[in-house]
Amino acid sequence: MSVIEINHPLVQHKLTLLRNKDAETKLFRETLTEITGLMTYEATKDFKLKDVEVETPIMKTTAKALAEKVAVVPILRAGLGMVEGVTTFIPTAKIGHIGVYRNEETLEPVYYYCKLPENIAEMKVLLVDPMLATGGSAIYSIDYLKEAGVKDITFMCIIAAPEGIAKVIEKHPDVDIFVGKIDQGLDENSYIYPGLGDCGDRIFGTK
């Protein structure tokens, strides 16, 4: 597996906009979508292609098209903020949902919902969640997908703590991680610092 930190100037610039505590909900949501789109471009660079015949205004020719069946699976609720960024580039992607939240006392993941596309075991899955902190929710979700038969999983997050990355690598060494920025670490409450706050609240304007 690989951990790929995307150091593209546009990603880093837009991350600065997300970090700003004064960013309004609209700006935060739109910027998150833009970053996800840029990350999707990087995360799909090794997707397989197939030959297809297409007729241009001039002649028939053989061109390339995606050969992969793709699903994007957000970890609820904050992962919903990344879906549009993926589907803008892969509009044919199926969308699943896994509902997991972190118990703030035990820091353990708590499951509450799942709905996956049919035949997801045959698909390449992009699992998305803006924040990779302790790694609990990501590990639980990857476990769930593997139990459903999925063999090809890529995890995409905006911000990650080294502690969370290490735990995911230890449990799932076959899963690639694409991250916008690896931050310094976790504070005494297991929040990423410097981070960007509660991503779900900032996406949906609930605080």
> Which region, left, alpha or beta, applies to residue 23 given φ > 0 means left and ψ of -120 to 50 means alpha?
beta
List, by residue number, the catalytic residues.
Answer: 102, 106, 198, 201
Among 32, 126, 158, CA closest to 85: 32
Structure tokens at 179: 């991250």
Cβ partners under 8 Å of residue 58, min gap 6:
none
